[in-house]
Structure formats: structure tokens, C-alpha cells
Amino acid sequence: MMSARLSDAVDALPLRPGLHVLEIGCGPGAASREVARRVGPSGVVLGIDRSPRAIAAARRAAVGFDPDRLDFECTSIEDFVLGGRPLFHMAFALRVGALDGRHPEVYDAAIAAVTAALHPGGTLYVDGGDPLRRIVW
């Protein structure tokens, strides 16, 4: 079950089947699981979080999902490396200090990592809008 805040944020994302989506600061993975349902069997979702406890909880809750379609990684966005993964079409972050102004010292590194992870023209959604704010670069 998702909170109303998470539900509103997921509803605001322009999701469609087949998208590759990165959730930054996924916590226990509730939004990632719902996004994976909405992008369907041809979509991919990766949730990242700096907390090992959150990632462990997300992995436990993802039982029944194909790990090639929904995966979780313990890392901060400023340290995230795409590696051999395909680029993402969009990313979203809710209450992530590196992107919402609470930790301005890592903002540039976080944006560089997101930029490197997205297709050209890809979009980042963060809280602070109604309910999300779209960032395009």
C-alpha cells in the first residue's frame, strides 16, 4: 500500500508501457513497484537508495517481480554509475536532499549522474510542484 503522497506522485508521472525509469531515493520501494506495474513487461525500473536497510526492504517486498524488470541498488545519486545498463527515459526523486536543496554541496554531482543516466531529452521529476516539478536540460 502506498501513501497518498506517493500515489499522487506516481499518478503525475507520464508513464507508458516500455519505459525505463530510475527512482532516486526509493526507500522500501513502494513507488518503484507501482511504476513497474504501470510500465508493464517491456519496461524496466531501477530504484536506488543510499540506505542498505531501505534496499533490503525493497528487495524483500519485490518478491514476484522479474528482477530484470525491477531491481534495486544501494547507492546515492551523486555516486550512481549507469554501468552496462541501458539509459533511462525518466527519473524521479521524492524528498532527496541532493536534489531538493537540502544538500547543495552534492547537487552538481547528482545532476551529472542523472544526466549520464538519461536518454537525451530525458526528464527528471522532483517534488516541489503540483505534486511534481519537471526538470529538463
pLDDT tens, residue by residue, 91-103: 999 999 999 888 9
Digit-coded pLDDT (tens) for 48-59: 999 999 999 999
Q: Enter the C-alpha cell of residue 78.
A: 551523486
pLDDT at 45 over 80: yes
Q: For the chain, which domains are there?
A: 4-136 (3.40.50.150)
Local confidence band at 136 (pLDDT 50, 70, 90 cut-offs): confident
CA angle, 62 then 124 then 107, to 5°: 100
Report the pLDDT value the prediction gives residue 137, as an integer from 0 to 100.
Answer: 67
Q: Select from 128, 134, 76 the least CA-distant residue to 106.
A: 76
**DSSP secondary structure letter of residue 79:** G
